[in-house]
Each structure stands twice: as structure tokens, then as C-alpha cells.
Copies of this chain bind each other. A is one copy, B any other.
Amino acid sequence: MTHYQYGRYIAGIYRASQKYWKMQLVDTDLRPVDFQILISLRHHDGSSQEDLVHWMFIDKSVVARAVKHLIEGGYVTRKVNEQDRRAYQLFRTEKAIAFDPEMERILNEWEGIILEALPEDEQEHLGDLLKGVFMHTGSTVRRIRQED
């Protein structure tokens, strides 16, 4: 009998975050995935869709459809990468940039909810631990999948 139920915690926090973001985005034409991608592009403007696939550990078809949706909504533009004409470079539009403060607000409130569960001196740990686990599990599962 294992002591911690990591799967239950992770899945539960994930579902809670999706539900919370959906609530916060209800007045926009953005869905949680779109929001996630906009956040990623804020960190890495000019990324390719493949970059996002690795960055988020998400299926490329989901990215393709979210990007399409973001372009239609006027949040993102893309141009062919002239160094590699298979790939696009994705850029945030003015509309996306104008949405930054609201995005910041939603992120900060969510972070507040996440962190207020923890004693002050533990809060710093969480980000580091999750980041480490994310990077490692992502590459591991990718590797296992390949070996199959």
C-alpha cells in the first residue's frame, strides 16, 4: 500500500485547473488549451508548433487545432520558417499582447490558490519539484514510447 497517491493528486489538480481557467475565460473566446499556448508564446515568441508539442507534452493535433483557433481569433499569426520551410514560426498579435494583464491576473490568482495550501517556506519548493518532475517524466515517457 503506497503512501502517496501521486496519480490522484496530479489528475485532480489538473482537472481543478482546467475547470478554474474555463470559468475565468468564460467571457473570452479562449479555451484552456488556447490560454496555455498563449502563455507559452509569451515566454517563447516565434516558436514552432513542434516546439509547443515538446514544451507542453501535448499531442500535435491538439496544438494544430488550438493554433488554428488562435489565428481565427486574431491572437496569433504565423509565417513559414525560411530556414526550414516545413515549420512555422508563431507570433502573438497586438490583441494577444493587450490580453497580457488579464492573463497575468488569472495566472496570479491560480498560483495563489495553489500556493496558499502550503506553508510559506515550502512554496518555493513546489515549483522546482514540479519543474523537475515535468521535464524528467516527459522525456522518459517519450523514450519508453519510442522503444516500444
**Contact call B9/A107, Cβ cutoff below 8 A:** no
Closest to A132 in B: B117
Closest to A8 in B: B56
**Contact call A134/B15, Cβ cutoff below 8 A:** no
Return the contact of A129 from the options B7, B8, B39, B118 (Cβ within 8 A): B118
Q: Interface of chain A, helix or strand or loop or mixed?
A: helix
**Contact call B129/A11, Cβ cutoff below 8 A:** no
- A79 interfacial by beta-carbon distance below 8 Å: no
Return the contact of A11 from the options B36, B116, B144 (Cβ within 8 A): B36
- A93 interfacial by beta-carbon distance below 8 Å: no
- A55 interfacial by beta-carbon distance below 8 Å: yes
Cα distance A130–B20 in the bound complex, in angstroms: 18
Return the contact of A12 from the options B5, B129, B138, B140 (Cβ within 8 A): B138
Cα distance A131–B116 in the bound complex, in angstroms: 13
Cα distance A79–B110 in the bound complex, in angstroms: 40
Which 7 residue pairs of A and B lie closest in terms of their CB atoms, listed nearest first?
A4-B127, A117-B136, A12-B57, A9-B130, A14-B14, A9-B134, A16-B141
